[in-house]
Each structure stands twice: as C-alpha cells, then as structure tokens.
Copies of this chain bind each other. A is one copy, B any other.
Amino acid sequence: MPDATTPRPLPSVLLFSVVPVASWFIVRPLITPVPPLPALHVSVGISMLTLLSAIYLVPALGPTFVKANLKGRDLLKTYNTPIPESLGLVCACIYILSLIIFIPFAFSSISLSGSHTQYTVREGIIINEFPHYQLSVYLSSILSILVATMLGFLDDVFDIRWRHKLPIPIIASIPLLMVYYAERGNTNIVVPIPLRPVFGALLNLVGPLYYLYMSMLSTFCTNSINILAGINGSETSQAVVIAFSVVLNDLLYLPWPSDFRIPVYLLGSRSEVEIGGIWSAGMAYGSRELVERHLFSLYFMLPLLGVCLGFLYHNWYPARAFPGDTLCYLTGMAFAVVGIQAHFSKTLLLFFLPQIFNFVLSCPQLFGLVPCPRHRVPRFDSDTNLLYPSKALFMKPPSGLSTFVLRIFEALRLTELTTHPQTGVILEATNLTILNFLLVKLGPMNEKRLTQTLIGIQIGGSVLAFTVRYGLAGLVFDGDRR
C-alpha cells in the first residue's frame, strides 16, 4: 500500500474559496456600520486561515520532521513506512501565532468602543479604561499554552519518563496561577446544594487549595487526552469534539441580535431558555462579564478548532502524520486555560466524560495494580485487518486486591480475563483503556470504525453534558448558572 503514506491531495478550489470568506470576516469590522462583537468577526476569519495553514503546512513540513528523526512506524498497519511524528508542533506554531496576531484586534479602539471597554464610575466621574487586566489574562493564557507546547515537544524529542511527565502541566499552568495570584483573584467556587450544610454556599478555597484545583485541572486535561491515544485520529478527533462543544456552550451566552427560545423543558429543566437580544439576552441574562468570559473562550477555541480540523485531514485513517505528545499538551492546556479563565471548569469537565471514564478505567494500570505494558493500543491482526483487545500479561500471580478489582471490572464487562483452567488464577487481562473496552464490548473491528465509534461516544458524552448542565443543573445548583 504505497499510496497510504503519500500526502493526501488538497482540494485547492474548495480551499481557496475559504480565503475570500476569511478575509471578509477580518475586514468587516473596519466597515461602518461596525457589527456588534467586531473582534469575534476577526477571530472567525483568523480561525478559517488557521485551518487552511494547518492543511497546507502539515504535509509540506512532514519530510523535514522525518529528516530530523521525528518519525514513527504505524503499529496498526501492514506497511513499515516511517510516518512523520510530532506534527502537533506545526499546529501549535500556527495556533499560537494566530493568538498573538489577534491581540491588536481584540484590544483595538474599534473593539474597545464596543464590548470590551470598562466604564468605571468613581465618585460620579466616568473613566474610560483600557482593559489591562484582560490583556494580562490573555497574555498569561498564551504563555501557559506555549509552555505546554514546549514541554510537549521536549517530551517528543527526549522521550521523558512517565513519572517525570506528570508535573509538566503543573509547570505549564504556573503563568496562569501566577497572574491569578498577582491579581489576588476570586478564589471562590460555588458549592453544590447537598454539600452546603457542610461548606456554606461559597467555598473560599483560599490560597493553596484553589491553586491546587487549577493545576490539577490542567494536569487532568492534558494527560487524559494523552492516555486516550493510539489509533489514527483519536487524539485529534477528541480535541475537535471537545472544542466544538465548548464553542457551542459559549455561543449560548452571546448577545444574539434576534430573540428566540429553546424549549429546554424537553430536557428536564423547569423553564425555557431565552436566547437573543443585544446585551440583554442569551444565557448571560444581561451580564456583560459573562458575555466577555465566553468571548474570551471563543477567541481561544475557534482557532484551535481550525488547526485541529486541518490536522485531522492528514491524521485521519490511514494517518499521514502523527500528532505526538505536542498536540495533546497543546489542546489539553488550551481547554484548561479557557475553563479556568472563563470560569466554567465544571462545565468543561462534563465535556471530558469519555476521558474521565478512560482515566478511571486506567487507574489499576496507572497505579501498578495491573501490569502496564509500554503500549496499550489494541492488537492488529494483519490477516483480517481487524483490531482485537490487547492484553496485559501477569508475570506473577496478581495480589488479592488486583484480583478483586479485576473481578469487579469483569462483572461490569469492562475487561476480559484469561484464567488458569485449574487454579482460576488470572493469567491475562485486556488492557484497561476505553479502546480495548469497546473491542471487548462490540467485538473486533477495523481501525477506522473504532475511531468513528470513539467520536460517536465523545459526541454522545457532549450531548449528555449539555443535558446535565442546562437540564439537570437546576437540581444541583440554584439559579446562579455560572
């Protein structure tokens, strides 16, 4: 199959039709009448260009990566051709450059005359201030993402050990935490109703605790994407679905020019949700702060969606390029940044349901109860071209605790065990990842099908997340939906 590793052809006509559309979005705010949310127009335009850049630069730079020894064999294929690895770096460069180029648009006089300017009223005097605070937050966010990218790439080049890897996202989140600390930020989190008798309505996680929560969030977001990897397109498609979910969630809070209603009571809520009306509608219910938070999130998520979609074109089965750890760290950190800075970390975690499931499932292997081989990807059978669950082999009989946990997992049909016919001692267990779980549950399938199933689950998780967030959140939290 020599054609499987040549770069995918680029549909030039289709792609170049994107350029005028993107240019229109970028130029539009300069034409009077200035549209509401001018910076968002620019962001949409830039995001289209990031998609285009990713689609063109990834195959163009592939050979350079192979030459620099950043290459890998595809373990689940019959051919042996080296595939360029770590191309998440190209995505990262495009993404970060687009975020930097966006700064003057977000903070120019045109944008500021609209949504961003803060009119501080002090003793009756209205002062029109430049949003320095927002700029600091924006810059520290880019800084965190860049540190994560850098460390992800170092991981690819130096192949850092698992134990040394874990603190990487903590280091990357330092700029965020530092700015939070320097600004003496609001470290309250809203406590769910059942726990209020214990903690009170607003838990002020003073000092270390809240910072711990934030760095744990960064650690979780980056590593959970990284461990749900191994088949073509898995990391990238997760990022695409999560980014798309965050964008959808953000859009709910924007001041739409027209007024319309969504009958959320169908989803189990007690009331309808009104969306629309300038500054006075959307889920923000007139809160300028909420609108700005979600605009901030959009400015980071739209170009991320752009690069990831562009990269997915080349990373799709059979993959012509691998993302490397760089893409996992980049996307994970970007999600953590918007979750923290735009204050919707709980909603964000809901979009990570498949990752949480995969993490919990992996725990026995991550914490040493079950042997953890170097690669836990499914086993490829070249005769049938199908994937089968891969297995972890017990070199010595498992301890009582390991047996207990594995028996429970087996009862829940999360793993398949091979036991000694006489003694009943566990000899092998399928590796504890969501991919192997799917193969146990649904039977062997080919790689493309498995990726599609994974995407389906991720989308299903997001639908569930929206239901929980806007349908059921009323049961757990009261009206203050932030």
Contacts and interface: CB of A to CB of B under 8 A. Distances in A.
Interface stretch (A127-135, A216-224, A278-286): A127-135
Given A64-B158, A125-B122, A157-B68, A179 B103 contact: yes
Contacts of A104: 178, 181-182
B182 A108 contact: yes
Interface string A59-98: 0000011011110000000000000000001000000110
A171 interface: yes
A175 interface: yes
A191 to B, nearest CB: 27
A158 B127 contact: no
Contacts of A109: 184
Given A68-B157, A104-B182, A158-B64, A132 B139 contact: no
Given A123-B125, A133-B132, A178 B146 contact: no
A157 B156 CA distance: 12
A372 interface: no
Nearest to A150: B150
Interface in A388-417: none
A272 interface: no
A143 interface: yes
A425 interface: no
A418 to B, nearest CB: 37
A101 interface: yes
Interface string A141-180: 0110011011000100111000000000001001100110
Contact of A171 (B68, B97, B181, B182): B97
A297 interface: no
A242 to B, nearest CB: 25
Contacts of A184: 109
A175 B123 contact: no
Given A139-B139, A182-B104, A127 B132 contact: no
Specify which of A159, A174, A175 lies most central, judged by the most chain B CB atoms within 10 Å of its CB: A175
A103 B137 CA distance: 13
A130 B67 CA distance: 50
A183 interface: yes
A203 interface: no
A140 interface: yes
Given A101-B174, A150-B146, A182 B107 contact: yes
Nearest first, the 3 closest Cβ-Cβ pairs linking A and B are A132-B132, A139-B139, A107-B182
Given A101-B174, A123-B125, 10 more contacts: A65-B158, A68-B157, A89-B154, A100-B174, A100-B178, A139-B139, A143-B143, A143-B146, A146-B150, A150-B150
